Structure 1
Amino acid sequence: MFGNNENKRALSNSNLSDKARRMLDSALKVDETSASHAYDVVFNLQQKYFDVVFNVPTSFALDSKLNDEIQKILIGGFYPLLLVYANSAPEFVETHSQDFSTARALRYHFRIGQFHRLQFDSLSQPKMQGSKIHLMDGFDFDLYESSGMVALSGQSGNGKTALLCYLLASILNSKPDAIVKIIDPKLDYSLFNFAQKRHLDYVSPAGNMNDYMNDVQSVLAGAIDEIHRRQRKVLETGKLPEKPYIIALDEAMAIAASITETKVIKQYQSLITQVTLMGRSARVFLFTSAQTFDANSVMNSSSRDQMAFKVVLSSNPSANDCRYLFKDFDPSTVVVNRDGFEKGLGLASTQPANRVVPFMAPYIKNLGA
């Protein structure tokens, strides 16, 4: 994976521990160092984690601020040799030391090397492996082993629709009997073309917005009816359905913005909530995208927590970009990898780990194919 001898030599527990100690000694804003035995760093390459072990008492607090400082130093310091995952909160572990002074540590997880972007000539190529959708080299989304729900956010032009098409193509190329219904308020050509070529149900405005909202609500209500039908079937047979049923809702906020009646907005949000909370058991999934999400018009916190694959597309993600899908997450702790193609960059997480990682959406050379 690494091209030079120096990087190969660096991949040993002792060498990595030494590098981490040097980085922390130089940059950590505390009065003590590893040389004064205030802390030590212990790597475990086999299990892909390292512990920062503290020698208590210390002159500094073992808290969230310290956790954030450590990971900011080491995430950037180990790039690109290691991808150190950012902890949203301190992960304290026992060291099983017989000495109380060194009985606890802060743990951080990593992978060797960085994730890399997948590339395809056309949307006819990507396929699932079992129930897994490949997202990056070494990073997958398991449709059946998670809730299966998807939320994509990012400003227009960052690649949300292309990523949505990729996800749907991966499923349809592997499970051609999958049921996919697309709701598209902005009449995106690539999404329309995708639906037409695959003979998918495609709901878009055709004049009267009240009629369109009725169509949208009808699709969502139909998904809830399908959930109930499948759940009854599961009770009768004891088997989960193999055929996924997917509602692809593009630019969900654009739909909400067109609704003027509070009652209708609540009905719209209620339908989305029901699909996201009940769909997993029946393999009925909601894939939704929006430039931004909020709790009042599209996705409440209960629905957000059900999202198995969450993405914020931005080449320079800010705290404001992350404020809803990745609540309380500091994007400055993540190094977004670059490969010369600026679209499809950002942050992502998948269940069950829910670790926020740098994301590079698959590149499709010809989206119309």
Structure 2
Amino acid sequence: MSKIIFSLCIAFFCISCGSESVEPTPIPPETTYFPPLSGTTWETKTIATLGWKQAAVQPLLDYLALKNSKGFIILVDGKIVLENYFNGHTATTNWYWASAGKTLTATMTGIAAQEGLIGINNKVSDYLGTGWTNMPLAKENLITNKHLLSMTSGIEDITNGDAVDPASLTYKADAGTRWAYHNVYVKLQDVIAQASGQNWSAYFNTKLKDKIGMDGAWFQSGNNSVYGSTTRSMARFGLLLLNKGKWETNTILNETFFNTATNSSQNINLGYGYLWWLNGKSSYHLPQSQLQFNGSLISNGPNDMFMALGKNDQKIYVVPSKKLVVIRMGDAADNVNLALSDFDEILWTKISALYQ
């Protein structure tokens, strides 16, 4: 009997050892994919692989077509899940970013700061000299680079419109005491050019565009310095920010500045960072308004989403919790010029239907 018991124990031990040895090895999380800096190669990921709903794809595409879209991309983990073009637009057609391009200037400001060329809290007049506005000198000297990044310069935003010549930059309030959407942020491009000893486009190309494989160029449109590129180049920029300023293992923008830029930059408009719009905050302001609205900017969008929003519905949506970047280029969805409208709400209803 003892021999039988001993044999059974040996057999049980061997079975136990065998079962442990064949336990599956945990699958590590998928690392973020980055497309090559040149060429058209860009890896894809299917709706089926993600476990998303194929039936929700066509209603989304129909809505985009109906709403005057030209280019649309969804990335997950850096890979293309959807890429669609409408109304004669193609993968090689350039389109303007409008105010979505403000975030390019914010990113370049962070790069210039990490290189020691500028200080975020330094006065703008340290770089541009006094008299860059039509304000009393004591008031002008209150304005820092941070105030331009956070739209709290105190410069009059209604009377002179978006003009940025010195005569048009007049006093409304002390810097830091009032949030108002104004084109004066473009003065940061002059600050960077002065500090770097290069023209704005050259510094931008060297420090950002070429390092992540973007195409496109800056051009002047009225008082605005506007960027134009393909939809994929806009997606490349969104991917950089999804990865907190790193492209593969290369730090383009340091994470400290990234975190500051994508969180509330002041306590007046909680829905605004450094030229980025922020979802999921308890309140927000809109351009050309001093009213405070309670709740999230896009109520049915992810709470951790941060956004670049431009005239005629140029969009970059970045959602870290879902490793998601969404790009929309095109004409105004509803024949209005607002950067934010009910188009965002309906669009996110249709996007979230893919994965909910």
TM bucket normalised to smaller: under 0.3
Where is the strand percentage greater, Structure 1 or Structure 2?
A: 1
TM value normalised by structure 1: 0.24
The structure with more radius of gyration: 2
